[in-house]
Amino acid sequence: MAGALIRTRHSPSRAAALETWQRWWGIAALGCGSLWMTIAFLGAPDVMATAIGFARTPFTFEIAFANLGLAVMGFRAASSSATARERITVGLGAGMFLWGALIGHVYQWFANGDHAPGNTGGVLVCDLLFPAVMIILARRSQRLAVAEQPATVLA
């Protein structure tokens, strides 16, 4: 967020500022955040399983590659050629995984008393916001593009 705030201080337009926010969010939040999870789950699966409050299972390997998919989508969303529609799709795709994970974390919290930091800590906020902000920013960009189109005169 700090990078986007600094970069948009002198944006020439609202559309340019929204583009910057979308690209920073795609790179920093979804791309790098998911890539970090990929590395963590592949490199230290026992540590990650403990952080979540589970025993190590093949699940940690699967989560690593699910996160790699999210990272690729996040980096694609940060591309200058990505459209608002594509970014909404990336946000929805990420949301299907992360919002499902959020529901699972909350369930484990209340059903099994799992208060491990990787289950009830900041992961809840990230799982909720990463895809939601991507979708909201892309939707705003879409609406702004429609609003800025010149009205056509019917003859």
The per-residue pLDDT string of the chain (155 residues; one tens digit each, 9 = 90 and over) reads: 777 778 778 888 888 888 988 999 999 999 999 999 999 999 999 999 999 999 899 989 999 999 999 999 999 999 999 999 999 999 999 999 999 999 999 999 999 999 999 999 999 999 999 999 999 999 999 999 888 776 555 65
**Residue range(s) defining the domain that contains residue 74:** 2-146
Distance CA 39, CA 32 (A): 10
Is residue 155 situated within a structural domain?
no
Is residue 7 situated within a structural domain?
yes
Is residue 154 situated within a structural domain?
no
Is residue 152 situated within a structural domain?
no
Is residue 128 situated within a structural domain?
yes
Is residue 15 situated within a structural domain?
yes
pLDDT at 61: 94
pLDDT at 105: 96
Give me the number of domains the chain comprises: 1
Is residue 103 situated within a structural domain?
yes
Tally the residues of the chain: 155
The separation between the first and the last C-alpha atoms of the chain, rounded to the nearest angstrom, is 47
pTM of the model: 0.87
Distance CA 45, CA 49 (A): 6
